[in-house]
Structure 1
Amino acid sequence: MKLGLHIADFTWPDGAPRLGPVLADVATAADEAGFDRISVMDHLWQIFGTPEHEMLEAYTALGFLAAHTRRAKLLTLVTGVVYRDPGLLAKAVTTLDVLSGGRAMLGIGAAWNEEESRGLGLFFPPTAERFERLEEALQICLRMFHGDEAPYDGKHYQLGRLLNSPLPLSKPHPPILIGGGGEKKTLRFVARYADSCNLFAVPEVEHKLDVLRQHCATEGRDYDAIEKTVTLNLDPGEKGERVGELIDDLTRYAGLGFTVGHGMVAGVSDLRKIETLRTEVMPAIEAL
């Protein structure tokens, strides 16, 4: 079992003037501690606390994180498909992959935050159309990652030439993670297109895995070839009081087949919490 640090709340001591240096310190500490990946949300308004709290644009932030890390994979958890046209999205992920030395992942989903989108004038079509666009975006990104320049003529996207130079360093392509547990479409897209899925730590999670297994059988896909990741609370507590509970949670999810636990750490700007995870949690779960 591996850990992924999800950095989503940027309301830290000293405010915006120190946000960059603190973020760099958090990322460097997580990278050196052995976190398998570092993720950020793809939101423009804060969804924890109040919308007015600090929030950073995802791919600018990931580029910054790439410069302050050496080994951790970097991704959004997850990109709202309608926030960027797929040609631009594929280019952004490819750029991140090249500049990070092959450490980018494409985390993607159908988007949900209508209030944020309407507030900033972003395109936000109805749910059914967002899922149609998600499937087309997955097809376009895969083709661009592999250097297929042929035109794409979809229902929602028409691209004349899928030129993507340079190509990603990751082989066969930057891993694609689809977030969400929708049983009819999201998990079917995981089975059809993705290398990884991300589910929330909810009571229905075992059922979601069963649904994914069924979709894999329908699509002719090896269920075991898809990485299963889970989002849960990684906070070890102010004085390490939650370490035992956290290890128990990770052990249970490992038993279900999950290999990565993503999560936020409350007050992560206090680097002692990352150190607690490194010394007390990671050794206990590395063999799971």
Structure 2
Amino acid sequence: MEIGIHYANFTHPDWQARLVERLAETARVADQGGASLFTVMDHWFQMENLGGPAEPMLEGYTTLGYLAAVTERVRLSLLVTGATYRRPGLLAKTVTTMDVLSGGRGLLGIGAAWYEREHLGLGVPFPSMSERFERLEETLLICRQMWSADDGPFAGKHFQLAETVCVPAPPRGRVPVLIGGSGERKTLRLVAEHADACNLFGESPELVAHKLDVLRRHCDDVGRDYDEIEKTVIATLDPLTQREEFLRDMAAYAGLGISLVTASPEGDDPVAWTTTVCTDVLPRLQAL
């Protein structure tokens, strides 16, 4: 099993002066320490459980472009892009640019979006959940078309594009897609139909096993090879302060076919946290 570092909290001591330095050094440590993925959130306001809009938050794709220049190997993604925030053609171009500039290390992590307060606060339409999922699916279709030989029009219910031109193309021909979320009826169905990877909430091995069974049934329904999909989870335990419990859960997840866990730095020093995770915890994960 591999690890991803999810940098969600920018509010560390003296952040007004050291935010960029600390973020960059954490990414470098993750990159050099063997982490497989480095992610930031796609939020414009900080989430309520991390202090809300009064706390610092960076725009996601600008941040990933910066991190592409200070890292060499680690994959880069938002966890996850909100499909409501950008027009799909522009999103495909933005993700492609990040992938090109990082030498093919980009990943399109995407979901339907949920944080109503930042939508209303910044004047972004926040449609119903059903419409957000419709827009998410059209976004996935548009990205697929823009990463294909077809540069013609796209006509959907919510989006109409006259030309799906994307030059230069992603170095690998397309950017892999990860869909975040555990919804059984819509989200996991979209994973089966459109994604290279899923990201589930790691609440318990039992619950994740159930979600993977649902995903397998969706794959059977649409004729998709379940084993083609990379399975990942977000950790709910701190791999340092709850190390043995964390590793027990990860062993159970590995047995279910989970190949990567994302964890967020805890405490005041994300550089030290990430260094210790990569040095002391990652080797034990890789042995699972």
Interval of TM-score (by shorter of Structure 1 and Structure 2): over 0.9
Give TM-score, length-normalised by structure 1: 0.95
Shift of 1:246: 2.1
1:190 equivalent in structure 2: 191
CA distance in 1, matches of 2:253, 2:218: 21
Q: How does 1:215-226 map to 2 (within 5 A)?
A: 215-226=218-229
SS of 1:51's partner is helix
SS of 2:199's partner is strand
1:155 equivalent in structure 2: 157
2:142 equivalent in structure 1: 140
2:212 equivalent in structure 1: 209
Q: One-letter code of the match for 1:206? A: A
Unaligned runs of 5+ in 1: none
Indicate if the aligned counterparts of 2:147 and 2:169 stay in contact, CA closer than 8 A. yes
Structure 1 residue ranges, 4+ long, deviating more than 4 angstroms after superposition = none
Indicate if the aligned counterparts of 1:233 and 1:264 stay in contact, CA closer than 8 A. no
2:38 equivalent in structure 1: 38
Range with greater deviation from structure 2 (136-145 or 226-235): 226-235
CA distance in 1, matches of 2:243, 2:275: 12
Q: How many percent identity over aligned positions?
A: 52
Q: One-letter code of the match for 2:217? A: Q
2:284 equivalent in structure 1: 284
SS of 2:266's partner is coil
Q: One-letter code of the match for 1:276? A: T
Q: How does 1:1-288 map to 2 (within 5 A)?
A: 1-47=1-47, 48-171=50-173, 173-203=174-204, 204-233=207-236, 235-237=238-240, 241-267=241-267, 269-288=269-288
Shift of 1:21: 1.1
**CA RMSD across the alignment:** 1.3
User: Alignment length, in residue pairs?
Assistant: 284
Shift of 1:194: 0.3
Shift of 1:282: 1.3
Q: One-letter code of the match for 1:52? A: A
CA distance in 2, matches of 1:269, 1:141: 37
Post-superposition Cα deviations, 1:44-91, rounded to whole Å, max 9, x if no partner, equal: 111122321111110011111111110000001101101001001000
Indicate if the aligned counterparts of 2:13 and 2:268 stay in contact, CA closer than 8 A. no
CA distance in 2, matches of 1:129, 1:137: 12
SS of 1:83's partner is coil
Post-superposition Cα deviations, 1:8-45, rounded to whole Å, max 9, x if no partner, equal: 10001212222111111111011101100001110011
SS of 1:97's partner is helix
CA distance in 2, matches of 1:132, 1:53: 32
Shift of 1:208: 0.9
Indicate if the aligned counterparts of 1:147 and 1:164 stay in contact, CA closer than 8 A. no
When residues 242 and 94 of structure 1 are mapped into structure 2, their CA distance, relative to the original with a 3 A threshold, is same
Shift of 1:268: 6.5
Q: One-letter code of the match for 1:34? A: G
Post-superposition Cα deviations, 1:110-133, rounded to whole Å, max 9, x if no partner, equal: 111111100110121111111111
CA distance in 2, matches of 1:189, 1:32: 34
Give TM-score, length-normalised by structure 2: 0.95
SS of 1:103's partner is coil
CA distance in 2, matches of 1:176, 1:100: 16
Unaligned runs of 5+ in 2: none
CA distance in 2, matches of 1:267, 1:95: 33
Post-superposition Cα deviations, 1:166-224, rounded to whole Å, max 9, x if no partner, equal: 000124x2110000111111111100000000000124221111110000000000101
Indicate if the aligned counterparts of 1:177 and 1:198 stay in contact, CA closer than 8 A. yes
Shift of 1:6: 0.3
